[in-house]
Amino acid sequence: MLRWVRQQLGFDPPHQSDTRTIYIANRFPQHGHYVPQKFADNRIISSKYTVWNFVPKNLFEQFRRVANFYFLIIFLVQLMIDTPTSPITSGLPLFFVITVTAIKQGYEDWLRHKADNEVNGAPVYVVRSGGLVKTRSKNIRVGDIVRVAKDETFPVDLVLLSSDRVDGSCHVTTASLDGETNLKTHVAVPETAVLQSVANLDKLVAVIECQQPEADLYRFVGRITISQQTEEIVRPLGPESLLLRGARLKNTKEIFGVAVYTGMETKMALNYKSKSQKRSAVEKSMNSFLIIYLIILLFEAILSTILKYAWQAEEKWDEPWYNGKTEHERNSSKILRFISDFLAFLVLYNFIIPISLYVTVEMQKFLGSFFIGWDLDLYHEETNQRAQVNTSDLNEELGQVEYVFTDKTGTLTENEMQFRECSINGIKYQEVNGKLTPEGFSEDSPDGNRHSLMKEEELFLKAVCLCHTVQINADQTDGADGPWHANGIAAPLEYYASSPDEKALVEAASRVGVVFTGTSGDSMEIKSLGKPERYKLLHVLEFDPNRRRMSVIVESPSGEKLLFTKGAESSILPRSKSGEIDKTRIHVDEFALKGLRTLCVAYRRFTPEEYQEVGKRLHEARTALQQREERLADVFNFIERDLELLGATGVEDKLQEKVQETIEALRLAGIKVWVLTGDKHETAVSVSLSCGHFHRTMNILELVQHKSDSTCAEQLRQLAKRIKEDHVIQHGLVVDGTSLSLALREHEKLFMDVCKNCSAVLCCRMAPLQKAKVVRLLKTSPEKPITLAIGDGANDVSMIQEAHVGIGIMGKEGRQAVRNSDYAIARFKFLSKLLFVHGHFYYIRIATLVQYFFYKNVCFITPQFLYQFFCLFSQQTLYDSVYLTLYNICFTSLPVLIYSLFEQHVHPHVLQSKPVLYRDISKNAHLGFKPFLYWTILGFFHAFVFFYGSYLLMGEDTSLLGNGQILKPNRQMMFGNWTFGTLVFTVMVITVTMKMALETHFWTWINHFVTWGSIVFYFIFSLFYGGIIWPFLHTQDMYFVFVQLLSSGSAWFAIILIVVACLFLDVVKKVLYRHLQPTSTEKAQMYSNRVALSDEFIALQPLSRARNQLSKIRWKKIRVQSAQHVTLLKAGTEGRTIGNC
């Protein structure tokens, strides 16, 4: 417990050495001076709070917000000094906001605690005392031998000891870690692979030495020393031996492994990248507006304090007969009195800062985000996937995007590979009806209809069938998870691979006569034209992004040692010494121009002496604990040389539906699209042309294959010159990964200038971190554009997290991108609806919400300031304390919240069909200085009309009574200060609510209910509040005041006249601007009112109006699903079916 506390407080020292020593089954040496290393326990902690720190930590985080901290100060000032308003007026709204936010954050953290407890309490089996013991996951210690059964997830990072298979292999899927859904093979060392029972494992004496925990999923360096009788056997351990926490066991009955990394030291936990808090442009604008309003508040408070002392310079006003000073007040310091008065005015005017703005914005974002998930237009029926919102803080940012960075494979394309062509020994072939046919020959021609394969063709296909990581599952019922048939071959072969390219190639080879039939122990079995052959697998040289190739060393049935290699043409062709290299290079370029993904295939024969040298070097590199990767890379380069080129393959990845239309729509909306891909130059350019990213009339500029800074800089200067000279036409830029690295190193500004002047940019051969670097480069440029990144694979995660808005595609490369994204959609085509409709609506709604909040608070507090001129700046409040407290919480909160959830100023169909409307809201247009100034001036204008309109219409006179009445000599009941304040407040509530109604374009019954209901509620509450003697109130200033106010006909006349006077100018302005200078959006609003009803679309206002509209439509124009149901597209965001129309 003490150690755990020390860990939580960060007092535990870091690991002292670079390696850790693990005694399997915790059999430590018996000599006395051995001190065991300390390791973390196996608990996963993803929660933010505990029971003990929730209150202080949450309060600290909330009071870091300027508005919350400001209101806390105001509340404390009200408690400490005599202020004109009750501390409740500030304390209650503050308490409400803090409580609502704390409940929301506490609930979210409780869900995290619940998930943690579920994981940490999961049952597991460990080998202890010669038997299997059931325990909880959190109790696993480093060194424990753990048993994992089929379809279970690994509870810790394990080194595989044995499985139910003789060769000690098992299959796992790591979709939850790296997004790859296909099966991967892991193997145990031969000495432990035979230990398949608990009893045998309990006798195992072995020690593992490995590196300390690190986040890299694909790196593991270690060795195992096994004591057998009198000798010690040392075997290397690499990534193929490590089973990662979070991965799932497949196609294997059970495995045993030893825990090497536990809890927060597992690779999964180390990859929990705490997402940097993304803040939207609207939130930044809100903070700027808050600062401006704080300045206005300080100005009003200082001015009122100065005017108070200027007024009191006259002796008759310094101490009037009805308000004499106490002895303490006369003797107090003038400076202290000035500060006290300043603070009192600060309290009096503090409501100009809208504390409830934050909580309203949070509610709007949280509730509004549900509309994306509910939108049936974003639902993909084939995969049964709907749009997903992972964070609601960035909804409005969808309406501000200026740059889209997109992956290619799986995002613009389907990631469904189909074999199209290949080149073998300098001859191009196509697959025709399951046969390889040379180009130019048909199946009917003499050479096209062959039943045998030539020697070169057969060797090429064998290379394809042997050099891969494909796995086989023969189950017909349960896919990868089901049992095998009793005879092992009854079910048809199904291939699974971590790379869809490999799967497509192996399937194509099987169709034309060379079939990969699986692995058996250390052998790979194939059938060549029906004849079975067995190749012994000697070594696998794994693929890595630096080499860009993978290889296998096998022993053929004749005993010959062969190396088969496949990879990118840039990594194979330079290493080839023979074969049809020039012809193959031409064919590869032709494949790429057709948009095909290309791979080159080569092989090498080893003499016995060469193979002996290769085996020795590989063993030395693989057993090294220090610099293993570098040493392996050197050995791989030594082996993969002097190759004989066999040929190349071309695999097609189909474009997704409506990709071209979506990219064109983005371009019309003023959004620049950058494609960032790992594919080769020619393939990427071809796909860019076919998807409309580049178009045929565009001038394509290239920055590729540069090896030095000087040549790269010179090329950049030439490109900049060409763009300047040919500024009339559009330009597209192609840049590869190596040239990009050079450009960003020394010539960042020049590179950015070139990019910004290009309509489309294509970056090929990109590493994942390069993608993120490009996004960061645009993000931090002087213009600070809003960026959006969209991708489907684990290699896109860094880019998705770096951009302002990250979108994951629910593709075939797992869910890593989806989990790390802000939003997730099933297809790229849904991006247009997400931005042009949802983004547009969210931005307009929240922009109006923020501006309106400041407007209504200016309306609220300015009459309070003006009233001081009539009460000698005595800090007398104009409104009752209850009205002060409830104005933002009750009387004016719901209309703007409902507006911010349901407003649709233009029909969704029009927004999507006219992408150019997106330009109207770009660059934060509705929250700029001009709109802010307009709303602020409007607020001051309305406040002046409220105050002086009431003052002029209701008159003045005579003496004030305590209950707010004025008596004239003829005893006629008149108005006093509370009645006057209530009149101003009544006019204000009605006007600001009606102003919200004027801003509303899309009316539903909910809008009507909250708009008119808010006004009615105010009247009912005021009658109730002023009509009863409340025993818990120490003063009853408002008793019967509202009733007396409403009993006066002149008061009703004043209310109506002032409200009309305030809103009349608004209406006139809207009408004039709409007819004389209409914006694109206003034109679209008029157009959307005349939208024709088509077979896919009916312009609905409220659903109740649909039935009336349907009766006027010619039925032949509507797609009738049945006699009772007609499909309608609601103007909101979802398809609705209205029954019994």
At CB < 8 A and 24+ separation, what contacts does 505-511 make? 505/419, 505/464, 505/468, 505/599, 505/649, 505/651, 506/464, 506/465, 506/468, 506/470, 507/419, 508/419, 508/431, 508/464, 509/461, 509/464, 509/465, 510/465, 511/431, 511/434
* Rounded CA separation 151/140 (Å): 20
User: What phi and psi values does residue 18 have, to the nearest 5 degrees?
Assistant: -80, -15
Beta strands in 17-154 (DSSP E): 19-23, 123-128, 131-136, 145-149
DSSP H helical ranges for 1048-1105: 1049-1076, 1080-1088
624: which 2 tokens?
Answer: 């090294």
* Rounded CA separation 94/71 (Å): 7
Cβ atoms within 10 Å, residue 1103: 15
At CB < 8 A and 24+ separation, what contacts does 98-103 make? 98/59, 98/62, 98/68, 100/359, 100/362, 101/62, 101/358, 101/359, 101/362, 102/58, 102/59, 102/62
* Rounded CA separation 71/57 (Å): 19
* Rounded CA separation 603/577 (Å): 11
1113: which 2 tokens?
Answer: 């439509």
**Secondary structure of 737-770 as H, E, C letters:** HHHHHHHHHHCHHHHHHHHHCCCEEEEECCCHHH
- The catalytic position among 407, 501, 653, 792 is 407
> Which of 45, 84, 708, 826 is CA-nearest to residue 385?
826
1129: which 2 tokens?
Answer: 């597209």
* Rounded CA separation 572/604 (Å): 12
Known catalytic residue at 407: yes
Tell the burial category of 728 from Cβ atoms under 10 Å away from its Cβ (0-12, 13-18, 19+): exposed
DSSP assigned state of 1094: B
Beta strands in 239-299 (DSSP E): 242-243, 248-250, 254-261
508, 521 contact by CB (below 8 A): no
User: What phi and psi values does residue 813 have, to the nearest 5 degrees?
Assistant: -100, 35
Cβ atoms within 10 Å, residue 952: 11
Amino acid identity of 511? R
DSSP H/E element including 236: strand 231-237
* Rounded CA separation 811/413 (Å): 10
517: which 2 tokens?
Answer: 């039939």
Catalytic residue set:
407
